[in-house]
Amino acid sequence: MTTTFARFLALFFFLATVLPASAEEFILSYDSTITIAKNGELTVTETIKTRAEGDRIKHGIYRDFPLYTLDADGKLTKVGFNIVSVKRDGAVEYWDTKWIDGGIRIYVGDADRLLTKGDHVFQITYTTDRQIRHFGTYDELTWNVTGTGWEFPMRDVSATILLPEGASPSETAFFTGPLGAVGKDAHAFTKGNRISFVSTRPFSKGEGMTVAVKLPKGVLDTLSTVLQREWWMRDHKTMIIGCVGLLVVLAYYFKAWHAVGRDPAAGIVVPRWDPPEGISPGLMNYIDHQGFEEDGWTAVSASALDLAVKGYVEIENLDDAIIMHRTHKQMDDSLPVGQKTLLTTIGPPSHSFTINEDTGRAVEKMGKRFFAAVEKEHKGRYFESNIIYSAVGFLVSAAFVIGTVYFSQHKDNMWEFMLVAYVCVPVMIALLTIWIGDLLHPKASLKDKLGGIALLSLLAYGIVAFGGYIIGAVWFEITHDPNSIGLGAAGLIVLINLLFFSLMGAPTPLGRKIMDEIEGLRLYLRVAEKDRMNMQGAPTMSPQHFETLLPYAVALNVEEPWTEAFERWFSKATEDSENYVPGWYHGLVKGPSDWIGAFSSSVASTISATIPQSSSSSFSGGGFSGSGGGGGGGGGW
């Protein structure tokens, strides 16, 4: 009598709180029958009685089922899953499936047909394997009956586990409530090989029931070697694909690099005080960087400066704009093709071209024309990008990475962890190391060296402070989920592509010779004044010599030491270092270091700124609601 009263009281509170409106959709009853075969395979029939009001349940319901669970060692394993039948109200019903994160979603119902309002009974029968966990002295089934992901509250939940004929459990357990809870709002009954579990209260949205049975050894068949090998391949498919892919990609890139990507041996670099024959400032920048990338606008500014030195343009450097004025000097056919495009963009004599926030589109168009003209004339002459080899490597890599990701047994938030552990952290450390190396360079300023030491200290502290955590987290993933190894290999494949993309390009023999000559000019432009004066045959410093090599200094990013050298010479020669300004430059300046510094540092940045930017056992304290196999959730559609 007391039990009956308690159930009526619980039903009253359910109707008063969880189901406040008669028109609300909910699950009236959720019953699951789990039959365990001798070989450990489960046949599960879920009978779900719902109340449909045409709100979320329009065509039917969907049921999410996880395809991964934890074995006795806590390792993630892929389970088998096969739908046997789907019914609605006793008749065969249309159904469909789709893959979801970590599992499969079963849609019950027809998209072209609406359900009538009222109560409907949905029945899904499926088989699944690898749900039994094999411990040393016993076997166990922990089954998440409902899952904790349902959109609807549930009034009654029940489950029946049928063991093989003649078997009986040595122990049972159950857990109720939201994910992670260990509530005991249910009863368990055992009769022979039949174990029944019945809830004692309604469940709110996000709550569920998990049941468990402990079986003596011998009730279920011992796993065969063939089956274990098949399961091992199923669990480690991601690891195999990822690791094989890593080896294949490494072998391919190494062979390709050995065949076409190795740079010709560098020659002897000797200082020189004139540019290589036929090499303009823009082309020098192109050869030095083996293409136009982020530094391409430096090539444009160096070419504009060279046009000014030659008398084709005058440059006006204002606070908020840079203006190039076309002079009356006629265009010479011997001009480099890139400089011709710049003059064409500026227009005929007396025309001007302004670089500011309002001319971003025009500036971008000018740059594209300049880059295209230079690359069209010189592509493949001084260096080969070997893009075909890189493209093949990318396609091979993409196939393995996609395969690894497709077969991965990913868990919630694991992608973020893998991205941080295997990609972001190594890339950040590599970039920081390069940056610190530049700051600690012997020729770096004291300020940069102090900054490098501070960064190095912070990096060392970070490695010590977080290195252990990261290593421990990675080790946990590797030992508990073999997919981690495969995903780690996929991350390394991505890094290998980034590395070899930069290594595959190689200078041609002519390009190598020109690059040695460029290095000789760079050496001359940045060497100390006393060393420059000791170079046999070096020309005497003069305004003409300074201006002639200035565009090349800008192209090689050594305009600062070259300008300082001229300023020191000019100061000694005239005792008035603050009044030298070439005739082709106009701006508020005090001396050479000011105006060339203002121009060379601002042109590229000004141009760029103007362009539009587009588990453990349930019987040893490890059980809880939501643990074990099964689970998932569902909703209406």
DSSP 17-55: IIS-STT--EEEEEEEEEEEPTTS-EEEEEEEEEEE-SS
The reported pLDDT for the residue numbered 464 is: 59
**Nearest in space to 281 (alpha carbons), one of 522, 567, 569:** 522
Amino acid present at 45:
T
pTM: 0.50
Residues of the chain with pLDDT under 50: 1-9, 11-22, 411-414, 614
Report the 10 Å Cβ neighbour count for 196.
17
> Under a CB-based contact definition with an 8 Å cutoff, are residues 292 and 371 in contact?
yes
**Nearest in space to 598 (alpha carbons), one of 288, 296, 281, 321:** 321
Six token digits for residue 50: 């719902």
Burial environment of residue 278 by CB neighbours within 10 A (0 to 12, 13 to 18, 19 or more):
exposed
The reported pLDDT for the residue numbered 224 is: 75
In a 3-state reduction of DSSP, which class is residue 99?
Answer: strand
> Under a CB-based contact definition with an 8 Å cutoff, are residues 573 and 562 in contact?
no
> Under a CB-based contact definition with an 8 Å cutoff, are residues 200 and 187 in contact?
yes
The reported pLDDT for the residue numbered 115 is: 92
Write out pLDDT tens, residues 390-439.
Answer: 889 889 988 888 888 777 755 444 455 555 555 566 666 666 666 666 66
d(CA 564, CA 532): 13
The reported pLDDT for the residue numbered 363 is: 81
Six token digits for residue 442: 């012997």
**Nearest in space to 329 (alpha carbons), one of 297, 345, 300, 307:** 307
d(CA 266, CA 513): 8
d(CA 239, CA 466): 26
Pairing mode, strands 138-144 and 629-630 = parallel
d(CA 568, CA 637): 80
Helix, strand, coil shares of the chain, percent, nearest 5, are 45, 25, 35
> Under a CB-based contact definition with an 8 Å cutoff, are residues 506 and 262 in contact?
yes
Cβ-based neighbours of 383, under 8 Å, separated by 6 or more: 287, 290, 291, 505, 506, 507, 508, 511
Cβ-based neighbours of 614, under 8 Å, separated by 6 or more: none
The structural domains of the chain, with segments of one domain joined by +, span: 24-224, 266-386+506-610
Strand order in the sheet with 60-66: 95-100, 103-109, 60-66, 633-636, 149-150
**Nearest in space to 148 (alpha carbons), one of 47, 64, 62, 34:** 64
Angle at alpha carbon of residue 143, lines to 173 and 52, rounded to 5°:
115
The reported pLDDT for the residue numbered 411 is: 44
d(CA 115, CA 102): 29
> Under a CB-based contact definition with an 8 Å cutoff, are residues 314 and 308 in contact?
yes
Report the 10 Å Cβ neighbour count for 508.
14
d(CA 211, CA 624): 9
CATH second-level architecture of 24-224?
A: Sandwich (2.60)
Burial environment of residue 342 by CB neighbours within 10 A (0 to 12, 13 to 18, 19 or more):
buried
Check the CA dihedral 342-346-348-351 and report its sign.
Answer: negative
Length reported for the chain: 637
The reported pLDDT for the residue numbered 622 is: 61
The reported pLDDT for the residue numbered 18 is: 47
> Under a CB-based contact definition with an 8 Å cutoff, are residues 31 and 196 in contact?
no
Amino acid present at 129:
D
